[in-house]
Copies of this chain bind each other. A is one copy, B any other.
Amino acid sequence: MKKLINDPADVVREALLGMQAAHGDRLRVDHSNRVVFRADAPRRGKVGLVSGGGSGHEPMHGGFVGPGMLDAACAGEVFTSPVPDQMLAATLGVDGGAGVLHVVKNYTGDVMNFEMAAELAAENGVEVVSVVTDDDVAVQDSLYTAGRRGVGVTVLLEKIAGAAAEEGRPLAEVADIARRVDGQGRSMGMALTSCTVPAAGRPTFELGENEIEVGIGIHGEPGRERRPLAPAREVAAMLVEPVLADLPAADGAPVIAFLNGMGGTPLIELYIMYAEVQQLLEKAGVPVARSLVGNYITSLEMAGCSVTLLRADDELVRLWDAPVSTPGLRWGM
């Protein structure tokens, strides 16, 4: 295992030290709870947005904390759900009196722990609504999930619901918008290589020299099938076709097209893939309103990519365009 780490047991703690060092001007890290907060949390009267999950998907979620997106993110061990106490600390820490939205990716541990945290928060007088993302069309049930896995849509949802919260909209509306994003978004990913969880010290799975895994999960969970290595244009079709087949028509609204890197694939390849994705969408008659290309929801150093398409009406596009200032996504401020 070749990694730029110290002790494998310290990876998450030390990465949070690095986040604090790099972004201490606008983030505050609660190291005992492993929660990344907006420096100015809680914001009086604003709905708080809390997410979190296993580490190893950076910049998600800690890198999406900041004005216009999340108020706090809980960091679990690599590929392991945070515990309810972390989520409770995050929830209480961001509550500004308008309630808190939990953004939860659909993995059994995360869902269970966020539910428990929401109950504890309610006991503390904080209203919590949870929205669970389940946008991965690859498989119905999976290694850590009953139902579909939550993947790339989570990034878009955190941005769009974050903008709605920043506008001062009430919890029910912010939650509605978040549910709309999950309902209108679909994703699928693939891997060229495995990743290695530091504490395990060896690759999560093995792929042959000429094999790819289509429909891979963001923790290396098995996908739909193994296929021979193929050109970018064929790989793009393997991802775009199932996503389009499952994508709600939503009155023919255009899409936000998100081509995500899994962590180990260089940007030059992501652009090649995006060119293919855009051509496929053009052929299918799907207009692209906005796009995002880069490493946003990763699986450590896994090589590969995923495609997320979100049917975005005018309101969702407007919220997407709203200013945001986080380490991972930043524009307009």
Residues of A at the B interface (CB closer than 8 Å) are 2-7, 11-12, 14-19, 21-22, 55-56, 58-59, 63, 78, 192-193, 209, 212, 229, 231-233, 235, 259, 263-275, 278, 291, 293, 295, 298, 300-301, 303-305, 325, 327, 330-333
Contact = CB atoms under 8 A, between A and B. Distances in A.
Contacts of A17: 271-272, 275
Nearest to A229: B2
Contacts of A232: 4-6, 14
A287 B133 CA distance: 42
Nearest to A19: B271
A267 B291 contact: no
A56 B266 CA distance: 8
A301 B265 contact: yes
B274 A21 contact: yes
22 contacts: A2-B229, A2-B303, A3-B269, A4-B192, A4-B265, A5-B269, A6-B233, A7-B231, A11-B272, A14-B272, A16-B271, A17-B271, A18-B270, A19-B271, A21-B275, A58-B266, A58-B268, A59-B267, A264-B266, A267-B295, A268-B300, A301-B303
B300 A266 contact: yes
Given A18-B293, A233-B6, A63 B330 contact: no
B332 A4 contact: no
Given A263-B266, A301-B264, A301-B303, A5 B272 contact: yes
Nearest to A2: B192
A4 B273 contact: yes
The 6 closest A-B pairs by CB, nearest first: A18-B271, A18-B275, A58-B267, A17-B275, A4-B269, A21-B278
A330 B278 CA distance: 23
A212 to B, nearest CB: 8
A303 B266 CA distance: 10
- The listed residue with most B CB atoms (<10 A of its CB), out of A209, A264, A271, A298, is A271
Contacts of A270: 4, 18
Contacts of A303: 2, 264, 301
Contacts of A266: 56, 58, 263-264, 298, 300-301
Contacts of A58: 266-268, 271
Nearest to A282: B21
- Most chain-B CB neighbours within 10 Å: which of A4, A21, A274, A327? A4
A232 B300 CA distance: 16
Contact of A6 (B271, B272, B325): B272
Contacts of A274: 18, 21-22
Given A232-B5, A330-B331, A21 B264 contact: no
A194 to B, nearest CB: 12
A178 to B, nearest CB: 25
A305 B232 CA distance: 27
Given A4-B235, A264-B264, A330-B331, A18 B301 contact: no
